[in-house]
A and B are shown apart, each in its own frame.
Chain A
């Protein structure tokens, strides 16, 4: 019996011919990404030895620029760590900064067939590059940085076979909401995306799907490789790599087919995305106070351009705050050069610097008691973005932008021609 993509990488990196669901494996870690949260007093433990500083990437993203003296001190601790070990891949506040998972894509840090860990749950984002990437705990990150290895439980794999092409105003986020709404969580399982439909999805669109793998509680979310993905990496990282294809006789827990052309805009209702999605019409008319577009799931250039297209020639409703947070400063600059930032600002959006920001309820857009928000970000848990009484609806950037114009949840197809 053959292996899935995740199983093949786990086998190779644990030095075994074969692994199977149920195994516990110790694997070599190629890339360890450390974020500002890790350097927080009470959480940081000073590292005395590193396996290989060249395998590390250090990123400040959760509270950037520093939102409190605590986060400022965490940044200082991080800078001292970087200096001490001479870490080259360092993304401090400024030109090179961004959300860690976006930076992995911007710089081609995750190579096909490799293993990447970071102490943020959305690390699975990097699986778009045909690798296995996982959010782990802060102690796991320290262990991997020091020892160069970590453990994984091998889960069974669910494969999503994508066909067709998304209709106008329907995005990869809607494809995710379809999966989470219909199939619920994928805890203990890997998710593998493939099929002819992936060719119609840009790399950033695919990345939305892998990033949201965290919300399915998946172990790994991994895309099959194709020419577009290989070109994306080659343009950013000169290192050689070898793509991993699933065996023809790989064993899947289930293979599910999704026809992208039949999808429609969806909205997840408050508190969870698990079995909680409804067509946008079912939410239409719900009054909102805040609309947010950003995060490692929806802060890509595609997302910003789509929001700007919806907002073109329109204004954000006077009762709504529209906050847009690019995923990285690189995307911010690209969006500025393309006139997207200006278009968003002209429409009344507040465009923030790249940071996890409002998505994690950290800063730059906290919700007050009983407020309602529609968000194109990662997570809509109760209390996630501020006060526990706030209601958070989850949708695509197009649906969020359309809702910001109308002041109530709205169908983006009415705004995009």
Chain B
């Protein structure tokens, strides 16, 4: 899993309520991404192009268990890289097969608009614009396999443990 694209940058402690606010709770999953960063960066969701990479700050995704990682994925973000990712948010990245890399120093290594090349399996992050590179913490193989398999729901569906469902 290698992604190369321009990056967006956000600060430290970005929380789940900013990614998936309560007002969007009962909307269909495909409508929820419109509300990403509605409170802290209005209009941003419209500027994102499919394939863009998000560089987060420390403890990215702190807060609730809501499926906020799915909103970033559905918005078209190819992958998330942050110095460290909140434990609960990280679980939901795995659950919804949203590639996420923990890489200390990445928040300092990029300016918004730079081009990044991220190898999720090796946890290497290259700033193509500036010619610098960093290596983070590779995802444990078991979790990486889950991401590659499309997350938990497809896995349970395949085993006949949950009913198939569109969307």
Q: B95 contacts A139, CB within 8 Å?
A: yes
Question: Is B43 among interface residues, defined by CB-CB distance under 8 A?
Answer: no
Question: Is A135 among interface residues, defined by CB-CB distance under 8 A?
Answer: yes
Q: Which residues of A contact B88 (CB under 8 A)?
A: 121, 134-137, 217
Stretch among B2-10, B17-25, B122-130 lining the A interface:
B17-25
Nearest neighbor of A220 in chain B, beta-carbon distance: B87
Q: A42 contacts B65, CB within 8 Å?
A: no
Q: B162 contacts A142, CB within 8 Å?
A: yes
Nearest neighbor of B146 in chain A, beta-carbon distance: A151
* Cβ of A211 to closest chain B Cβ, rounded Å: 13
Q: Once bound together, how far apart are the Cα atoms of A382 and B22, in whole Å? A: 11
Question: Is B110 among interface residues, defined by CB-CB distance under 8 A?
Answer: no
* Cβ of B141 to closest chain A Cβ, rounded Å: 9
Question: Is A371 among interface residues, defined by CB-CB distance under 8 A?
Answer: no
Q: Once bound together, how far apart are the Cα atoms of A272 and B28, in whole Å? A: 29
* Cβ of B12 to closest chain A Cβ, rounded Å: 9
Interface residues of A in 108-152 (CB under 8 A from B): 119-121, 134-140, 142-143, 146, 151
The size of the chain A interface, using a CB distance under 8 A, is 47
Q: Once bound together, how far apart are the Cα atoms of A388 and B21, in whole Å? A: 10
Q: Which residues of A contact B27 (CB under 8 A)?
A: 42
Q: Which residues of A contact B65 (CB under 8 A)?
A: 119-121, 135-138
Q: Once bound together, how far apart are the Cα atoms of A185 and B14, in whole Å? A: 13
Q: Which residues of B contact A151 (CB under 8 A)?
A: 142-143
Q: A120 contacts B64, CB within 8 Å?
A: yes
Nearest neighbor of A216 in chain B, beta-carbon distance: B62
Say whether chain B's binding surface is mostly helix, strand, loop, or mixed. Answer: loop
Q: B18 contacts A45, CB within 8 Å?
A: no
The number of chain B residues touching the other chain, given as a range, is 35 or more
Q: Which residues of B contact A381 (CB under 8 A)?
A: 15, 17-18, 63
How does the 8 Å CB contact mask read for A167-191 relative to B, with 1 for contact and 0 for none?
A: 0000000000000000001011000
Question: Is A383 among interface residues, defined by CB-CB distance under 8 A?
Answer: yes
Question: Is A244 among interface residues, defined by CB-CB distance under 8 A?
Answer: no
Q: Once bound together, how far apart are the Cα atoms of A136 and B167, in whole Å? A: 21
Q: Once bound together, how far apart are the Cα atoms of A151 and B152, in whole Å? A: 12
Interface residues of B in 124-167 (CB under 8 A from A): 140, 142-143, 151-153, 156, 160-163, 165, 167
Question: Is A247 among interface residues, defined by CB-CB distance under 8 A?
Answer: no
Q: Which residue in B40, B69, B161 is a CB contact (below 8 Å) of A382?
A: B40
A-B contacts, 28 of them at CB < 8 A, read A40-B26, A42-B26, A45-B156, A45-B163, A47-B161, A120-B64, A120-B65, A135-B64, A136-B65, A137-B67, A137-B69, A138-B67, A139-B95, A139-B152, A142-B153, A146-B161, A151-B143, A187-B58, A188-B84, A188-B87, A217-B87, A272-B13, A360-B22, A360-B64, A379-B63, A383-B21, A384-B22, A388-B38
Chain A contact residues, CB within 8 Å of chain B = 24, 26, 37, 40-43, 45-49, 68, 70-71, 119-121, 134-140, 142-143, 146, 151, 153, 155, 185, 187-188, 217, 219, 272, 274, 360-362, 379, 381-384, 388
